[in-house]
Structures are given as structure tokens and as C-alpha cells.
Structure 1
Amino acid sequence: MKKTILRDSSIPISLLAIPTIRLVYTPKLKPADRIPVNSTRMAVTIFRQHWDQNKIDLLEEFKVMLLDYKQRLIGVIDLHIGNRTMVITEPQLIYAAAFVANASFIMLAHNHPSGEVQPSGPDCLITSMVKQFGIVFSLPMLDHLIITKSSYYSFKDSGSFEIRRGY
């Protein structure tokens, strides 16, 4: 027999019609076997390994590194692909992935096909927004990297990691 609930006291809704949402993450490695990410250079190396080197000079891509509470690598997510001059991302999607994977820290990276590693105004803005989300959710962003084939820029290492007010 189908159970029903009433909405507005007159419209029956089947309980079977209500979707169930599951948050599931199945790690492939035991935590002790995860790679520690303890430097900017190590993070750049890992991100570059996840980049298609035939596209790094063609399209902007946005990736997120998820780290556990000991800053060991859980995984890298290819979050968005843009065009030659920009990629758009959303803090909500970044943190949704981090929550599902039970991450404790995140690092961001995107490439500049132009080869120029200096951040643009929108790069600085998304960095600030994601950092603020991290404070609210107690899931800190450790760095945002801009990567090219031959160079990189680290917001953290450059001292450009403050939160901007007034979007």
C-alpha cells in the first residue's frame, strides 16, 4: 500500500515520488597512503599532471584540489572549462565537491592560455569570494594558483591573499 501525505490539506503526494538525495564518496586510497601536499611547488606539480598539456595554451580551465585534515591529497576535480580568455566558476560548486569528499582544505588553480601569470581583476575577486566561503564553512582555501606551461603565480606566496570587501 502506498503511503500518502497531504499538502495544503487536500492534495495527496506519494512518498515514493519524493526524491532521496544521497551524499556518497568512496575513496580509492586509505588516508595513510595519500600524498602530502606541503608546498606550493608540490601543488603546482600535481595540478600540472592533471592538465592536458595540449590544451593548457588553448582554453582556460578551472580545477580544485581537495585535501584532508593533514593536507594530504584526496583528489583533483576538473570543475569548469572556459574559452581562450576566461573561465567562470561558482564557489557553491567548489564547496559542494569539497563537502562530498569530506575535504578539510581546498586549493584552486586555473590556467592562462596567454602565458601571462599575473591575476586579472576577476581572478582576484573569485579568490576573495571563495576564501570568504571557506571561512563561513570552516573549510579553508590554502591557495589559488594561476598556471601556464612554464610558470605559475601563487596568491598566497605573493601576499595577495586578503579578502576583498564589497563585490
Structure 2
Amino acid sequence: MSANSLQSLFKVNEVEIIYRNPTPIQDRISIKQSSTAYQVFRQTWDENKIELLEQFKILLIDRSSHCLGISEIATGGMSACVVDPRVIFAIALKTKSSGLILAHNHPSGGLKPSEADLSMTNKLVKAGNLLDISIIDHLIVTTQDYYSFSDNGIMPKPS
């Protein structure tokens, strides 16, 4: 094999990580209560989908409880949404987040967490522990109200 053909076998893409936050720290909203997180999530939720399709979003939080941003992770069907932890933590790592607040809606309008909700939250808390990223809360969002795992004492404890 020639040197040129050998080199072409080993072409590798370069990966670059870039992070910019144009909002000055003094202008970032501080999120210290579930009600504030709910208000932020509701402002960004598509009113045409909240009672139709299940969606999953995250608030990215810094060490001072300032909101770095919000990211939509997944959109599913009427009764379920597939959430990939790798997507969540890739975004969290890129934004230098130290904590996350999870949220998803129940198109039915019900606020009771399902077994799948509890299991997924537990899985994300465990993954966050490995990366030193706290899962602060998980909200179930509807048009009228919300349910906070933390406020109701069912948020899994970091190990």
C-alpha cells in the first residue's frame, strides 16, 4: 500500500467544543423554587402541543442557581416520549451546567408521575452523579399546574 492510500484510511474528523452565553450573569434568572422553573418552562412550551404530544425539556443551571438556558430534548406521541440520557448530558457538559431541572408534560392533563417517569428520573440522577451534574428537580407540566418531584419528596437522592 502506498503512503497516500494508507493516510486516506486514517482520516479523522476533528471535534471542537464551543460555548458562548451572550446573556450577562446579572441578567440571568435565578431559579431557586419549582414555581419559577414552571414559569420558565411554560413560557417556552408550544401551546399547540402541550395537550397533544408529550415533550421533554431541561433547564440548565449553574452553581449559583442561575439559568444558563433551556433545551428541548425530545418530542413523542400522545402518551410517551423517548428520552436519551446521552443527549441530555452532552448538552449539560457543553454548557458547563452543574445542575439540571427536568420537565415533561402529560397531554392528558394528569399530574401523577408514572412508573416510567420515576424510573427515568432515577436513571438520570445516577448518570448525573457520575458526571457531577445534579438533577435538582423533575416537573410534570400542564397548562394549569405542575407537579414537582422535589416538592413532593420523591426526587431520588444522589448516591
Tell me which residue corresponds to 2:146.
Answer: 152
> 1:116 offset after TM fit, Å?
0.4
Matches of residues 3-152 of structure 1 in structure 2 within 5 Å? Answer: 12-14=6-8, 17-152=11-146
> 1:16 offset after TM fit, Å?
8.3
State the structure with bigger RCO (CA 8 A, min sep 6), 1 or 2: 2
Q: Distance in 2 between matches of 1:106 and 1:12?
A: 45
Q: Distance in 2 between matches of 1:61 and 1:137?
A: 24
RMSD of the alignment, in Å?
1.7
Gaps of 5+ in 1: 6-10
Worse-superposed segment, 41-50 or 154-163: 154-163
One-letter amino acid of the structure 1 residue matched with residue 11 of structure 2: A
TM value normalised by structure 2:
0.92
Q: Deviations over 1:123-166 (max 9, x none)?
A: 00110000111111111010000000011111111111125xxx
Q: Which has the larger radius of gyration?
A: 1
One-letter amino acid of the structure 2 residue matched with residue 111 of structure 1: N
Q: Distance in 1 between matches of 2:125 and 2:105?
A: 19
Gaps of 5+ in 2: none
Q: Aligned with 1:114: secondary structure?
A: coil
Would you identify which runs of 4 or more consecutive aligned residues in structure 1 move more than 2 Å? 13-17
Q: Distance in 2 between matches of 1:162 and 1:98?
A: 19
